[in-house]
Chains A and B, each alone.
Chain A
């Protein structure tokens, strides 16, 4: 449609150009109403709860007890945020969410490095080098990608115990990496598959070294897909609860587990403002990542290895 308009305009006939413009505006109007209604509904659906959570976290408990959940805070206070971060109790420790936050960071970094490095090199080998049984291996990976964690949970506990990492930060990171490997490998493999054969042939004739070609030629071409995988993996690991609660030790649980304990186990009256603040604190890191690299994410999904 746009293509047609462009060609018509290029033909230079004023009448045709005017018609095209009218047609385009009309079409936009018709559709845009439906789109606007839909978007507004979506926005409300997400925004109303967010509004409640945000305002509640900024209120004092007395105000909350009055029960007007849609009202703006009378006195704005960051007291609940401060308490949630520094002092809130989770189980018997009362050091706030910051413990869980740093645990999550310490889980995230090694699991990202481990899973992405492994998946990338495996994908590169499968896509661009002659690997024996590559087809079978790919099929197995494909199957593995559909196995839910619950099914292999007990064997995994046994394995991590034998390895001596059960209940440690490293244990959680390793399990995350293992679970992510099949999908990530398939993603990298499919991305690298589109690298023209001749570029690979040229590199093989020029250097012949698996690692040198990877580091100097392939890695620099992987920017787009790396962003995609990073976002996927950061969100996955950060938002995970099950792996953290199963494989994390007493003091090595991630932020989500920390949050859950805080909200459910606290004795006495529920401190809604603290709970809301804690929930928001937990949700902030992935949000920050989205805002920082979100636009690359879309570009990365749609772009191939070679531009122009």
Chain B
């Protein structure tokens, strides 16, 4: 079974290490998303896998084959590019056919595959057009078609949706997920958009500064972020992160924020028993807060703070409270949000067992 693995990958440009001893492997049929901010090395990693750039050191395996030294066309991959990269002088059909030119297939097989892809992606009426005569969404479909006709075991995507408008992006997201369900290839998908990552991935590798920060399922990455970077990067609105310290009292453990509030941490699954007074960063997701000014049964902490403003994003709304020198964001029902007035003091409760704790010095999860 093709399984893609990067082993001790080093990549440097002119003495500057972009990737350093990177290890990552993904099983057959998985949908791996490489997620990270711009410039963190995602494209570099993908290009190394595709063979478009050479590794400085390390090994890349696809299945049982060591492909590190192979030419791109011999690696059994297909790729969809951010700018679509369609051949401007070829028709849609010509674009799809050229995708097969390394394969040396009989003519009937080429025609059969092109028709198959055209049907699958509903681009049959466009087959004789030039790329310049297509809309962005149509170009993206053709680019995906050009990758699919190769019947490659591994499909690579480099931010394929970032040039589309929001509505088309949602549509194409579903489309790519449908194709993955139907054809079940191994996918390596690069994006900086966490919504794409959360919705499409079976596994997410969160990257920053050329280092994989966390590798896990979307739920794992969201529920138990491995460090402060992942905690701050995943989730919108972002997790509230505030410095504080550990306080132990009559058998229980609590966190004390630098602003004075306390939060009960008895239900927190510590990897190691915490020390009294240890400096930590406590992370609270906005959506875990209870409704404003309403008591909740199992509150771990309560915050009484003045409201700065509320923000409505369609089906959701977020309140922002002044908290020390920063803000505390908490989800509110859109209906409630309309009733809250800026400056008004609001009380929100945070439930037990939901807080995230990080070591203040290293940023690692406790």
Contact = CB atoms under 8 A, between A and B. Distances in A.
Taking chain B's interface residues, is the majority helix, strand, or loop, or is none over half, making it mixed? loop
A171 to B, nearest CB: 37
Given A208-B73, A216-B98, A307-B132, A221 B89 contact: yes
A104 B51 CA distance: 49
Given A201-B85, A307-B132, 5 more contacts: A204-B73, A206-B100, A216-B87, A217-B98, A306-B88
Nearest to A216: B98
B89 A217 contact: yes
A206 B99 contact: yes
B276 interface: no
B85 A221 contact: no
B71 interface: yes
Nearest to A220: B89
A205 B147 CA distance: 10
Given A208-B71, A212-B101, A216-B98, A203 B87 contact: yes
13 contacts: A201-B50, A202-B79, A202-B146, A205-B73, A205-B77, A206-B100, A208-B72, A208-B73, A216-B101, A217-B89, A217-B90, A220-B90, A306-B88
B82 A198 contact: yes
A268 interface: no
Given A204-B73, A208-B73, A221 B88 contact: yes
Given A212-B101, A221-B88, A206 B73 contact: yes
B1 to A, nearest CB: 23
A201 B82 CA distance: 12
B88 A307 contact: yes
A308 B84 CA distance: 14
Interface residues of A, number: 20
Given A207-B73, A208-B71, A212-B101, A201 B87 contact: no
B161 interface: no
A229 to B, nearest CB: 18
B349 interface: no
B85 A202 contact: yes
A30 B89 CA distance: 45
Interface of A: 196, 198-199, 201-209, 212, 216-217, 220-221, 306-308
A81 B139 CA distance: 59
Taking chain A's interface residues, is the majority helix, strand, or loop, or is none over half, making it mixed? helix
A208 B132 CA distance: 24
B85 A196 contact: yes
Contacts of A207: 73, 98, 101-102
Nearest to A202: B85
Contacts of A198: 81-83, 85
Contacts of B79: 201-202, 205
Contacts of A199: 85-88
Contacts, number: 70
In the A-B complex, the 9 residue pairs with the closest CB atoms: A208-B73, A220-B89, A198-B85, A308-B132, A202-B85, A198-B81, A207-B101, A205-B72, A199-B85
Interface in B75-131: 77-79, 81-83, 85-90, 98-102
Contacts of A307: 88, 132
A204 B71 CA distance: 9
- Which of B51, B72, B78, B99: most chain A Cβ within 10 A? B72
Contacts of A205: 50-52, 72-73, 77-79
A196 B101 contact: no
Contacts of B100: 206
Nearest to A199: B85
Contacts of B50: 201, 205
A202 B81 contact: yes
Nearest to A200: B85
A220 B87 CA distance: 10
Contacts of A201: 47, 50, 52, 79, 81, 85
Nearest to A307: B132
A199 B85 CA distance: 4
Contacts of B98: 203, 206-207, 216-217
B72 A204 contact: yes
A207 B100 CA distance: 8
A204 to B, nearest CB: 5
Nearest to B149: A206
A254 B146 CA distance: 52
A194 to B, nearest CB: 12
B98 to A, nearest CB: 5
Contacts of B86: 199, 202
Contacts of B132: 307-308
